[in-house]
Amino acid sequence: MNLALFSSVKDNWETPQAFFDKLNEEFRFTLDACASAENAKCRMFFTTKENGLVQDWEGHVVFVNPPYGRKISAWVEKCYEESRKKNTKVVMLLPARTDTIYFHKYIFRKVNEIRFIKGHLKFSNSQNSAPVPSMVAVF
């Protein structure tokens, strides 16, 4: 068992490529707002150095798979705020935690669509599936 999945040792898990490809087929992303040079899913991307939380996303179709740690609520808020800008769409992959404040403040009844993922995704090169279910929020 990969114990890192259950701890805060690592909080930036790479999106499964096949899962991303299906979303990209539908949305045609132009920006990966939360990536590393090794796992970026779009030609244009922000790493922790550029800090997507302080960048302007206006005019882009943005994919976001945020770190699943303490800053996740800041990423959800950022996705909501950026999606309100002209010609901007944001698609976010995150844990399906409907009991959180950020879910009720920025997602529930505010996004265009919520897609709950059946089963548990396998992130990065992990041998095990994630310990929590995932969802996609389309802002």
pLDDT digits (tens, 9 = 90+) for 36-66: 999 999 999 999 999 999 999 999 999 999 9
pLDDT above 50 for 3: no
What single DSSP character describes residue 54?
Answer: G
Alpha-carbon gap, residue 28 to 26, rounded angstroms: 6
**CATH match of 13-138 with 3.40.50.150:** yes
pLDDT above 90 for 12: no
Strand partners, 125: none
Burial 8-41 (b: 16+ CB within 10 A, else e): eeeebbbbbeebbeebbeeeebebbbbbeeebbb
- Residue 121: the pLDDT is 83
pLDDT above 90 for 2: no
Q: Is the dihedral of CA 102, 104, 66, 90 positive or negative?
A: negative
